[in-house]
Structure 1
Amino acid sequence: MTFYNDIYPFYHVQRTSFIFNLALLTVILVFVVFAIIFLLILPGIRGKSRLFWMCRVLISLFIGAVIVAVNFTSDWAAASMKANTTYKSFSSGIVNAEIGLHVGLSGINVTLKGNPVMQLNETIDYNEMFKWTDSLDEDYTEALERGLPNPILYIAEKFTAGSPCGLYFQYRYSGTYASATMWTAFCCWLVANVLFSMPVILYAGFMMVATAAFIFFSLASFSTIQNLPACVFAIGTASFEMGYSHSFWLALAIGVLCVVIGLLVILLDCLIPEKMKEAFSVDVDDEDDDNCLTEGYLNSNFLEGVTTITFTG
């Protein structure tokens, strides 16, 4: 094996570790561009409403960015542990590494990072993605053929369709329904932003509450994974249990924020509707048009020769 630089000849060439989710990066860049464009036109807004518009737009963009981004993150639930474990099949080499499991709405990420990273003359830094599709078992078979480290294969096997743990179907369906309701929340958020620019601010508040409701439905759907019987992930003498992670709590915080905004808008619109219309700059143009009509002048020359017809019935 020395001739092959300690890489077994029947394994494929090792791939570089996972760097960043490109879909998530695209979402972040799109909303950052929108925020920058708004900041560039912000000086054109006159008066005291400039600060209100800035806070309103930035908070709204943040809510929309989170709703979309959590569909592509892989840390709705997570767990990790440090263990001494065998590295690869047909090898007696033992490595000290940190093994992590990150669950998202579309699949799981299994990470393996050596401590230190360089061990057995090799860089131990893996992040492998397994998606909730009909090809997950095929992905697992491909991982076997590529000769991924034993800890990654052990955890991935727990999520295959034939595993006695039964994690695959529950996690897949929970993630699918959670993603669908989260996208519905995004649609409600879009409608709410449109209504905020119209003289129907009350209904915009209702749509913000509806946005929060669908976010909570998404969280409830993902939470059904807790109904599964406990499946122990044990490597050597170490083990771990799954727990909610950053994306779950961030989505919960955004849902609470939408509820607060929606209820506050509904309450203020009922108590001080005129002030709310003035704050959101609606109905201002209509009043200006009315004033222009009352101050206008009538050219009598256009009325010469005009016959007035009166209909009687």
Structure 2
Amino acid sequence: MSVTLSLFVGSSILATQCGSGWHVACSPIVSAYQAFSREKISGSLGAYIGLNHINVTLTAPPINGSDVNFNERLSWSAPNELQERYRDALYRGLPFPMLTVAEVLQLDQEGFAWGRNYRAAGYYTCAMLWAAFTSWLLMNILLMVVPRYGAYTMVMTGLLVLGADLTYLWLLPEAPLQVRFEVGILKFELGWCFWLNLIAGGVCSAIGLAIACLDLVFPHHFSTILEVDYDTPYDRHVIIEDSRYRGRKKKSGSMSSNKSGSLEEPRSPWSTRILRYVIKTLFSSRSSKLFK
């Protein structure tokens, strides 16, 4: 279970760090295919926001024999990178629905600051996730050496992952982002990255807390397969039990020796002196008779 939990939490942190499913929207739309064009397109438009980018997808039936299947990633790692990506998309002539989403996000004036808010949310959430990943590495090391402290770091890892979710939720734009078209509205909602982090953080915290409580109630009984000397003669549980057995054996041996010694009556020095005096008297009396 410890290996499965560790792999699940670690892979969840890395997947959500690079994933494009923190805030998502997908809707069927009807819109102009190009700006200032009467040609309409009916298809499905999706926007998938990650921590430092957004993926915009557009799928529609073929137009004039050419397939309509676009996927564009717009990054905002640097402050002005999103504006540069938007100008590049204009130059390459992307479909109008995709340009509309990019234009809304690249605006940074008064109430139109969705891009800036998403960038701030992604920045601080990314920092929290890297802190959780560091704690996860420390958790694996401690589980191999001292499982008790490994359980404590497991709780800390889960709390950091949950803190990343709360940070992202707190820094989201106060005014919900909605992109309107002639037919259809893109309404953003929390995606799979947020919910995966919530599950991983909750499970990690709960199991770590349960292990810590069990170790407090039953000390030196918790063991994991990640331990260095697991199921060997050098296992810490084997050593502890062996030392306890030797202590009990030594204690019982000393008690038995004390009991056996208490059955014998101690010799008095007065009895020894009297015995010597009697022997000496008898010997002197016999020797005097012989000489007479």
In the superposition, the TM-score normalised over structure 1's length comes to 0.70
Counterparts of 2:183 and 2:53, CA distance in 1:
27
Identity of aligned residues (%): 29
Contact residue 93 and residue 120 of structure 1 kept, 8 A: no
Shift of residue 223, structure 1, vs aligned partner: 0.6
The residue correspondences of 1:1-313 to structure 2 (distance < 5 A) are 55-114=1-60, 116=61, 118-132=62-76, 133=78, 134-162=80-108, 164-198=111-145, 200-277=146-223, 281=230, 285=234
Aligned partner of 2:275 in structure 1 is: none
Greater helix share, structure number? 2
| Matched residue count | 236
Counterparts of 1:218 and 1:143, CA distance in 2:
32
Aligned partner of 1:17 in structure 2 is: none
Contact residue 5 and residue 204 of structure 2 kept, 8 A: no
SS at match of 2:59: strand
In the alignment, structure 1 segments of 5+ residues that lack a partner are: 1-54, 295-313
Counterparts of 2:65 and 2:72, CA distance in 1:
21
Spell out, residue by residue over 1:146-186, the C-alpha distance to the aligned partner (whole angstroms, 9 max, x if none): 00000000001111143552111111011010011001101
CA RMSD of aligned residues (A): 2.4
In the superposition, the TM-score normalised over structure 2's length comes to 0.74
Counterparts of 1:231 and 1:166, CA distance in 2:
10
Aligned partner of 1:307 in structure 2 is: none
In the alignment, structure 2 segments of 5+ residues that lack a partner are: 247-292
Give the residue type in structure 2 aligned to 1:180.
A
Counterparts of 1:286 and 1:254, CA distance in 2:
30
SS at match of 1:264: helix
Which protein, 1 or 2, shows the higher relative CO under an 8 Å CA cutoff with sep ≥ 6? 2
Of the two, which has the highest radius of gyration?
2
Relative to structure 2, which stretch is displaced further, 225-234 or 240-249? 225-234
Aligned partner of 1:10 in structure 2 is: none
Shift of residue 277, structure 1, vs aligned partner: 4.0
Give the residue type in structure 1 aligned to 2:201.
G
Give the residue type in structure 2 aligned to 1:194.
I
Distance 1:121-1:93 versus aligned 2 partners, 3 A rule: farther
Counterparts of 1:182 and 1:278, CA distance in 2:
25
Aligned partner of 2:281 in structure 1 is: none
